[in-house]
Chains A and B, each alone.
Chain A
Amino acid sequence: MEETRKWRWGINRWFVFLFIVLGVFAARAYSPILPHVQLPAEELAGPITLPFVGEIYLTNTIVATLIVDLILLLLAFAVNRAIRSGELVFRGVVGAIQTVLEALYGLAESTAGKWAKQFFPWMASIVLIVLLANWMELIPGVDSIGQVHSVEHEGYPIQELGQLGNLSIVTIVKENAQAVSESTHDSYSIVPFVRVVSTDLNFTVALALIVVVMVQFYGIKALGLSYFTKFINVKPIFSKPIFGVIDFAVGFLEIISEVSRVISFSFRLFGNIFAGSILLFVIGSLVPVFAQTIFLFLEFGVGLIQAIVFGMLAMIFMAQATAGHGDEAHEGA
């Protein structure tokens, strides 16, 4: 048995205690409100007219996407530098990334077999991007710090906290209903600077379309043009007369199943994360002190599982597409 270290007072627990106390005081001083929730992402900056695409806006989910990309690029540079330095054992962040990637590669090998090397970049990229995007809603400041702008109804009065240059930092104050209806000339609502990317349908549908297109691509790469006999299956009509027509109809159903995969992928991720963020808003406005912590843990788990499920389903569909028509019977799913 090694000798145990003498128990000492740690420093981190005091930080946690300090944040809890600050949180309790902040919740008592300025009660949180239920923000205005809308399905499309809110725009922050005005329209930029591109020649081919038309008008695009800078929405707050684009800001979140840029932050996710920045974090991933920094991680990639860190891993690159650690590999170039020639050590065998990595420590810290790079070691953690190595563990995660090894686990993902193990999953890829057990599912895809000999195509694992080609599928692994797609699956791991999707898992890392969706994971970072989902976990951004746990960071304080996301979905809560933003611009205030006045609305006609359903707004709250504001109070100025301080000045920063010539920007004034304001906070929304929740008065009782009487005070709001009397002073209707100042009712404000908040548009967050950063909103969780997965709550934007553009992001999830884009990822789903990429996955479905890449599944077809790998199917053609593995089987050649006979991959399309999965969908348009004319030969069994001639070889086995009556049941061949059933095979043809099954091929037609496969096309519908591919389209429904796009919808299923995108709405699974979107629904989980959007519902989770609304849940955090509602609980945060009702019981701001301790109850939201439990739901933050739930969102942590949900974000992780949805990212892994997205990546694994993408890889399983790719593996099915390359497996060929004959093996379909015993693969199921």
Chain B
Amino acid sequence: MSVLSHAAKRRLSDKLLLSLTWFCSFITIAVLVWILSYIVINGITHINWSFLTTIYKPVKGLTGIFPMIISTLMIIGVTVIISTPIGICSAIYLVEYSKPGKLVATIRFATETLAGIPSIIYGLFGFIFFVVALQLKYSILSGALTLSIMVLPTVIRATEEALKSVPDMYREGSLALGASKLTTISRVVLPCAVPGILTALILSIGRIVGETAAVYLTAGYVPNIPSSIMRSGQTLSVHLYTLAKEGISFEQAYATATVLVIIVAILNFIATRVAGKFTKVSTGG
């Protein structure tokens, strides 16, 4: 009798836990669907060609986000140009050259810590170092330099993964044929790791697009088209923040948020595609 009730209790608790996992997963998905649909439904109606291509001069009735798109693209461009080569070279050092020891442990510790530092601290640092000390002022360049340090851990880690997944056989084969280490890396290892490196690139672009706090304190918030990278510019995220915080226009805010969500969704889609190809390549080899 008591054994039976024990078994019944067990069945009950099993069922309860099982439904709890379904329930929590449902919440996770429901939250995502709710946020996305709410933003897109409210925003998509305000997006049209002129919203995307006109400048932002509210006094003249112009409320386009063209300057913000340009600023965002400029920040992405400069950040990628600075951080990608450094990140790839770091990963090459860590995977292909380094021997386990204090130096590698220090580098690993540094990248992990950098990944954990909140963006507002990057903003503070960027402000005091790039904006004030190096006198770059509020500019695209200050923002991009700050973001470069911020995305560096992402680039390094993803590139490392890509390099590690290249089978040692390839390296040995190339070395056995008389190729030098550098030639092996540049002609054999790197080409195999290209999809992984591309994924790293897309991930970091996603972070740059979404970043607000660090950019706000370093690139400033002038809603004009920056004439050079030495000028201040307002990225899409900062624009959305300003619109929402100051309560300027919720219609524009919805529309800007929709543009951001669409950009991120596209980037995610491309990243999954590239990563998918990547696994095919490495298992095919």
Q: Do A and B bind each other?
A: no
